[in-house]
Each structure stands twice: as structure tokens, then as C-alpha cells.
Amino acid sequence: MEKEKKKFSFPSAYTVILLVLFLVMILTYFIPAGKYATLSYNMEKKEFSLVQPTGETSVEPGTQKTLDKYEIKTNLDKFKDGSVYKPVAIPGSYKELERENKGAFGALKEFLNAPIQGLEESISIITFVLILGGIIGIINKTGAFAAGMNSLSKKLKGREKWLIILTMTLISLGGTTFGLAEETIAFYPILVPIFIAAGYDALVAIATIYLGSCIGTLGSTVNPFSIVIASNTAGVTFTDGMGLRIAMLVIGTVMCIVYTVHYAEKVRKNPELSLIYDQKEELEHKFLKNDFENEAPIFDLRKKSMLLIFALGFMVMVYGVKELNWMFVEISSLFLLIVFILAIISGLNEKTFVNEFVTGASDLLSVALVIALARGVTIIMENAMISDTLMYHLSNSVSNMNGPVFTTVLYFIYILLGFFIPSSSGLAVLSMPVMAPLADVVNIDRALVIDAYNWGQGIISFIAPTGLVLASLAMVDITFDKWVKFVMKLMVAIALVSIILLAIGVYL
């Protein structure tokens, strides 16, 4: 009897990131090490700190003359008020450096250390994820989610697509205004069961939340972590070129909504057309399971109160991030407070409450590990000093181009840089002092360089394993290949729109 051939199974998120980590390690042997000199402002001493590529530091006067001396076209006030808070690369200061030959043992040690360092450096967001998982476990145990979903599904009967439209629009607005990104991880445990109960698949939930965040940050208009810091570093006001950015935001958001709704309605009418149909029963069991299998739980005052407090937590979180500059320490503290409140009103005894919290946290441990591994990739690049080298050579490659050719090639350069440098603010302060002056040479508005940066690094965030996508997919146990298959056509369409808008900007 002939043996049945094993069906190929796409690797898990962990394996994908480890492969990327390994490939980046290999690249460090082919890409030379190098650094730009950087200038950073000390608010307390009111002076600049100059760090040479070789590591030597010196002090420069905290004046506009110092910025002019090093050809950094940024107003001193932007450093003083904290708008530019990271070290800025000095144009023309790139220097190739000798990299220590660590040998096979040293390379293995660095490869193994990177995920551990990634865990250490990502501990604040990982803490938030685990607390969130604990809260989900508690609410699931009480049946509050099941009761709430049952009530909501009745109210949405026949109008399910509006849940996609409204949710994606709101998340997109959060992305364009204050950079709503990592925080959206909190939305998956709430919205995935609702989407599945409405007749959609879990991929629709991922698309609604993750695409909403991606297109919002791609189409940033006043986002302080991308557009504002990039504009300040490039020496222009962030309102320059606002018309094109609004156009990109509106067009991109509409495209994402139409694309997602089309797929969602197709799946709702015929579940077999789902790209994850083979996981249908597994995901329904995971997200719709509860202790009330015979009948839907009553949506009583206790359950309503628990969900209301949980929802209020997100509202406070959004306010804190936007208005109070909260980071994940403050966000985690907020949700820890919610844990204590739920302990009082849940009706669960102490032992059950703690057990369900620990069980819920363990359910999201996989997401925490993915976040740590992704951060490890960035650490490898930083240790190998290849980010600045990539910037140096890529900037030279476009220096003799002009018009739409310049903006198009620059767009693809930022797609590449966005893969290796997923931090929007980090990429801005590294690249703008180098790239923005090129706009003057080819006689175009510097705002177009900022658009190419934001749209390029934004579009690659749809699929870059070094970003948030794998952590998001891990929330719902969907493999990377299925997501790529779903989103690729949309990515190509949005990329074409970006290139056309950049070309239009050249002639405006």
C-alpha cells in the first residue's frame, strides 16, 4: 500500500521570525558595518551631544548655529520642545567601520542572545499582553462575552458589514492621528468572537483591525511618531503636503473597507470560500466556547457591568496615549486596575478568579514570544550596524534621479528600509537628514520625501515579519501564508495609488 504523502504545512510565526533572524544574521556578513554621526539635544544642560561613527562623544553649543554647521535643516525649537527627541543623523558623516570577527561561536551566541534581549526590551508590551489575556480568561469564565455576543448578533442581523465599516474607520482615524498600532492587539479578543458569531471568519477580524491600523498609520496626517517627527527633522512643517496625505488616507481606507467587506460577505454567504475554512471548527471552538453550551447565558447587570468596565478601559487607554503620552507601563497599570475591579464584581471566588486569570494569560503567551522574537531581529541589525549602511548606499542610488522616477524609486527604497527598520520614528530621524536634501537637488517639495517615507514603510507593514503582523496573526492562530494570500492584491493596488499620488505631487 502506497504511503499517503504528507501535506505541506506552513511554518508557525515562531519559525518564520527565526528564519528572518537567521537571514539577517547572514546579511551581516555581506553588508559592511557603518554609522552616521548623530546629534542629540540635552534639555537639562541645553547643549548638543555629538556622537561620532566610531563612538567618540563631544559637546556642542545648544544653538541654531550648531545645526546649521552640520547641515541639519531643523529648527532648534523642535529639539527644545521635544518634538525631535531621538539622535539625528548628520548628512555626509557616514563612515564604514570594522566589524569584529566573532567566529562561528560568537555568531551562534549572538543569534541565541537576540530573542532573550528582545524579550527584555519588549517586557512592557509583553506585560500588557499577558494582563489582557488574564482579563479575557476571567470574562470568558463568567459568560459575559457569550451573553454580549448573543445580544449583539441579534441587533446586527442583516447589518453585519457595518461592524467592519465602523471598526476599520475608527481604527484608521486612530492610526492617522496618534499612531494607533501596538495597542490594537487589545481589540482581537473582543472583536474576533463577535465577527465569528456574525457569520464571518477570523481573517475578517484580522483584516478589520490590522488593516485599519496599517492604512491609518500609512495615511498619517498628524501622527507625532511619523509625519510630525519626519517633518521636523526634514526642516518643513507637518502641514506641508497635507492635501495628498488626506487623499491617501481616504482612498486607502475606502479600498481596505471595500476589499474586506467583499471578502467578508462572500464568506458569510458561502463559508467554504473562506481562506481558512480548514480551521473553521477549531477557531469557532476556541473563540465561541463557554460553559453554557445548552443555552445562551442571560445578559444580566453583572455581565453588562464587566463588559462596560472593559470597554471603558480602552477609551481611557486611547485618551492616555493621545493626550498624556502614555507608554505600555501606564497602559498595563490601567488594565491591572481593571483586573482588581473585576475581582470585586465578577462573582468568582478567589481561587477560581486567579486560576482563570493565569489560564487566560497563558493563552496569549504565544503572542508575547512572537513580539520578543521580532524585536530580536532589530537587535541583530543594531549590533551589526548595517541600518546606516543601507541608508547610505540607497540614498546615493537616487541622488541623480528626478521627477516621478525619483519619487517612485524613493518609495521602493522606503519599502526596503521599512522592512529592516520597523520603527517609524527611528526611520524618520535616521533618513530625513540624508534624504530630504535630495529633494532640493531634484527641485521637488521635501514633503514628497516624507510621503514616500510614510507610504513606503506603511505598505510593507502589511506583511513585514519584523513588525506587528505575526503577533496579530498569532492572536487567532492564522498562518502567515494565508494572510499574504489574502492581502497581496490589496497591497499592490494601494502601492499603485501611492506611486500615482507621488507623481501628481511632483507637478503640483
Question: Looking at the 3D structure of the chain, how many domains does it have?
Answer: 2
Return the pLDDT at 149: 63
Residue 279 lies in a domain: yes
Return the pLDDT at 256: 97
Return the pLDDT at 112: 87
**Torsion angle of alpha carbons 59, 87, 246, 403, nearest 10°?**
80
Residue 7 lies in a domain: no
146 shares a domain with 81: no
Domain that holds residue 190: 13-34+114-507
344 shares a domain with 277: yes
Return d(Cα 168, Cα 174) in angstroms, integer: 10
- The dihedrals phi and psi of 191, each to the nearest 5 degrees, come to -85, -30
Residue 5 lies in a domain: no
Residue 476 lies in a domain: yes
322 shares a domain with 250: yes
pLDDT digits (tens, 9 = 90+) for 177-203: 878 787 787 778 778 888 888 889 999
Residue 109 lies in a domain: no
Contact 215, 251 (CB under 8 A): no
Q: With the C-alpha atoms ordered 275, 277, 283, 287, is the resulting torsion angle positive or negative?
A: positive
Q: Average per-residue pLDDT in the chain?
A: 87
pLDDT tops 70 at residue 289: no
330 shares a domain with 344: yes
pLDDT tops 70 at residue 3: no
180 shares a domain with 79: no
213 shares a domain with 72: no
Residue with the bigger pLDDT between 274 and 16: it is 274
Look-up of cell digits 499603485: 496
Please tell me the total number of residues recorded for the chain in this structure: 508
45 shares a domain with 30: no
207 shares a domain with 81: no
388 shares a domain with 256: yes
Residue 106 lies in a domain: no
Return d(Cα 402, Cα 62) in angstroms, integer: 35
Return the pLDDT at 294: 45
**Torsion angle of alpha carbons 6, 10, 12, 16, nearest 10°?**
130
Return d(Cα 250, Cα 247) in angstroms, integer: 5
Return d(Cα 242, Cα 247) in angstroms, integer: 9
333 shares a domain with 206: yes
> In terms of C-beta distances under 8 Å and separation of at least 24 residues, what long-range contacts does 2-10 make, across chains too?
10/479, 10/480, 10/481, 10/482
Return d(Cα 446, Cα 423) in angstroms, integer: 21
Residue 503 lies in a domain: yes
Residue 101 lies in a domain: no
Give the domain-ending residue among 24, 59, 93. Answer: 93
The model's confidence at residue 297, banded by pLDDT at 50, 70 and 90, is: low
User: Can you give the three-state secondary structure of 64-75, one letter per residue?
Assistant: HHHHHHCCCCCC
Phi/psi region, residue 93 (left: phi>0; alpha: psi -120 to 50; beta: rest), is: alpha
Residue 317: closest CA among 299, 340, 337 = 337
